A and B are shown apart, each in its own frame.
Chain A
Amino acid sequence: MSAPEIHIRPRPRSWPQRPDPGIAVELRDLHLSYGAHDILKGIDLAVREGTTTALVGPSGSGKTTLLRCVNYLATPVAGEVWVDGELVGREERGGRLYPASERVLRGHRRRTGMVFQRFNLFANLSALANVAFAPVSAGLCSRAEAQERASALLARVGLSHRENALPSQLSGGQQQRVAIARALAMQPKVMLFDEATSALDPELSREVLAVMQELAKAGMTMLVVTHETGFARTVADDIVFMEAGRIVSQGSPETMFSDDAPERVQSFFRCRPQTGSASRK
């Protein structure tokens, strides 16, 4: 009995094109709505590898939703999300694109690390176990390897002495640094920060911002939703200003904080204190 003939359907002309090399994240005409309420209204954004992009704008402008679309925690109704050259949230079967299964989506999500406003550490696990848990669960490495790597990551965020502490025994700043180490444990290509310092007082914010700045210096691609204008000004390579589900303006900190910036952007930054400042990387 001869093997069945396999017909490979040619890809249609409209097949999504991979982003250019050097682009870590690309969003194309991204739309998201909840019922009749449009949250994102056609977002186009490219983030270069090794750069930090700050997403700023008034509350309710869609910054967090945009960030959550990058790892498909929020599912866009239209548009494309590319991370590290891979189309997120879709999978190819028989020459066609379908919504990705949960298993495939888990693989996509591992390319990004996300840090949340409220830390979201696993309450029953120590700092070390929090960091080591995901790589072991995903079958990426042995428990011993994961713990060794977790230990090194906790040292990187300055928490070697708190390895055995439970989240409830850590300060907010320490919890957020553990959360950063936990995200890094999956060796993501891109880090997503969702108002990572909003729940912290200025002193604790500084220690988290210092870790984020160290990551930026080390060449990690970062997409940061922030109200820390000082951080955006001094650490970000690009600032994206959003309002009402659209990108209103985008440019380097020098441009965005200059008199050449659109009036809306200038008035927004004028109203905000210069918090989270750090030395230019």
Chain B
Amino acid sequence: MSTLMTAVSDGFPVFGQALLNAFILLATSCVLSTILGASLCVVDICAHRSVGLLVRTYSWLAQTTPPLILLFLAFYGSTMMGRAISPMTAAIIAFVFFATAYYFEIFRASYEGVPRGQFEAARALGIPPLPFATGVVVPQVIRIAAGPFVGRTTVLFKETSLASAISVSEIMSTASAYIYSGASPLLMVAIAGGIYAVINIALIALEKQLTRKAAAA
């Protein structure tokens, strides 16, 4: 018991920094990917079909490439091109690259989920596109997307552990460092797992609340 307490008390500041890094990676990727995913969704809806095809090709590519490969490409690729970037920056680039595709698909599917009859009603009433989009479509897209969005974000948080592969100091890499320096592997994995579990339970609770709200509306 005393070993556990010592490990927790000694490890807390280090795990705190790791958790902060994971949060920075998650928050930055999430915010940028949401903006980019929503923008691509607008482009896909409004632009010419050929542009839409480009967007969908990117989305397919980003979703089918393993995140680890993207991380290596961003980190080692930048070094090979003579423009070395920090592991954190490389991780953010890789995460934004694939998370944007997932968020784009969520927004696109949510847009498709808005009943078409409402679009026809807006045309029949002579409502201009912008007020219709902001007043009717976007609120419904947000409502439909809320559940899948939070769900994907919990997965994204778990995926931050992959950033340890390019030496970003996050939760898993910190646990590994303790294990290599002689700490109990089971204990370290349990601590790291516990941190992920607590954060994800909070996110899932948020998802459930949003889904319940959407169902009630």
Query: Which residues of A are at the interface with B, using a C-beta cutoff of 8 A?
Result: 71, 73, 106-110, 112-114, 116, 118-125, 133-134, 136-138, 166, 168, 179, 182-183, 186
Contacts and interface: CB of A to CB of B under 8 A. Distances in A.
A133 B118 CA distance: 13
A127 B167 CA distance: 56
A121 B126 CA distance: 15
A183 B123 CA distance: 12
Given A73-B124, A107-B126, A109-B126, 13 more contacts: A106-B126, A116-B120, A120-B118, A120-B120, A123-B114, A123-B140, A124-B139, A124-B217, A133-B135, A134-B125, A137-B128, A183-B124, A186-B126
Given A120-B118, A125-B136, A71 B124 contact: yes
B125 A182 contact: yes
B115 to A, nearest CB: 7
6 contacts: A112-B124, A122-B136, A123-B115, A123-B140, A124-B140, A134-B125
Contacts of A168: 217
Nearest to B134: A137
By size class, the interface of chain B is 20 to 34
Contact of B127 (A118, A119, A123, A137): A137
Contacts of A71: 124
Contacts of A138: 125-128
Between A108, A110, A120, the greatest number of chain B beta carbons within 10 A of the residue's beta carbon is seen for A120
B118 A110 contact: no
A110 B140 contact: no
Contacts of A166: 217
Interface of B: 114-115, 117-118, 120-128, 131-132, 135-136, 139-140, 143, 217
Contacts of A106: 126-128
A120 B115 contact: yes
B140 A109 contact: no
B125 A183 contact: yes
Nearest to B114: A123
Contact of B126 (A110, A122, A182): A110
Given A124-B143, A137-B135, A116 B121 contact: yes
Between A108, A114, A122, A125, the greatest number of chain B beta carbons within 10 A of the residue's beta carbon is seen for A122
A132 B127 CA distance: 12
A183 B124 CA distance: 9
A41 to B, nearest CB: 24
A133 B127 contact: yes
Between B115, B124, B136, the greatest number of chain A beta carbons within 10 A of the residue's beta carbon is seen for B124
Nearest to A179: B121
A118 B117 contact: yes
A107 B131 CA distance: 16
Contacts of A122: 118, 121, 135-136
Contacts of B117: 116, 118-120
B123 to A, nearest CB: 6
Contacts of B136: 122, 124-125, 133
